Structure 1
Amino acid sequence: MTLHYKWLTQTVATAAQIHPGDLPAIAAHGFKTLINNRPDGEGGPNQPTSKELEEAAREHGIAYVYLPVVPMRYTREQVEAMAQHLKTAATPVLAFCRSGARTEQLFHFTQQLG
């Protein structure tokens, strides 16, 4: 299984939907924290749940954060929470959503905070 991700900084990357079977590759790439920005159930029954992803992440020694964001409905609280997670998380961080675009936009909003 090939892992595709995009670096936004030297310590933060984004990716499309992650599955529990991706965690060995994520760990092998050295990621220390996984941030899930996709609400449970958004993709139907084929989307893994946050709980499944958290369990798989922990099995591979990766910290897990669930911060669901609905596309185009970002709140200041979500942006601030993402910024705080990025400040305190073990790095490198891999954050994801359905395609990676929502997470990338959320990241850019964190950079605009005062």
Structure 2
Amino acid sequence: MDIRALTDAYAVSPQITPDDIPEIAAAGFGTIICNRPDEEIVPGLRAADIRAAALEAGLKFLEIPLSQSENFVRDVARQREALETAEGPVLAYCASGTRSTIVWMFGAAKSVPIGDLLETANRAGYPLAALRPQLEAAAQL
């Protein structure tokens, strides 16, 4: 498992498995957010499988699947709200952690300097400088 902290309260990861849940709970996470659509995943790793293991471990589990869609603004708002109401630190996952990083960046664009967001993502292994114009536009909305 490859957990990458973006803040003290938010970390991202590539796809997790039900077997990873005890380690996630032991690391102090209270909430898991699945940002990966089920149609990308083989049975056994779908949201319902991860949810069952998370709930059994006493963790909160949310699904906010992210894909190339016109619903991105809504998804950013849903992710931001989930972070604001999370129980304990949040681990969000997708295929590589990139989408979970991007949705966090857009959700924080109004309150965190864009340069800081890009630097944080880059330190975590997600070089997303090409998103600067879109993040700057989002910060103005």
Q: For 1:99, which of 96, 99, 102 is the aligned residue? A: 96
Whole-angstrom CA distance in 2 between matches of 1:40 and 1:14: 18
Higher relative contact order (CA 8 A, sep 6+): 1
C-alpha RMSD of matched pairs (Å):
1.7
| Number of the residue aligned with 1:22 | 20
Normalised to the residue count of structure 1, the TM-score between the two structures is 0.89
Residue identity (%):
34
Give the number of the structure whose residues are more often helix, by fraction: 2
Give the aligned length: 111
Whole-angstrom CA distance in 1 between matches of 2:108 and 2:75: 13
Q: Counterpart of 1:25 in structure 2: which amino acid?
A: E
Report the CA distance between 1:49 and its aligned residue.
1.4
Select the structure of larger CA radius of gyration: 2
Q: Does 1:58 align with 2:58?
A: no
Structure 2: stretches of 5+ with no match in the other structure: 111-140
Whole-angstrom CA distance in 2 between matches of 1:65 and 1:74: 17
Trace 1:1-114 onto structure 2 (pairs within 5 A).
3-43=1-41, 45=42, 48-71=45-68, 75-113=72-110
Structure 1: 4+ residue segments shifted above 6 A: none
For the 8 Å contact 1:41–1:47, the answer to whether it is kept is no
Q: Mean alpha-carbon deviation: is it higher for 64-73 or for 24-33?
A: 64-73
Normalised to the residue count of structure 2, the TM-score between the two structures is 0.73
Q: Counterpart of 2:61 in structure 1: which amino acid?
A: Y
Cα 1:38/1:47, change in 2 over 3 Å:
farther
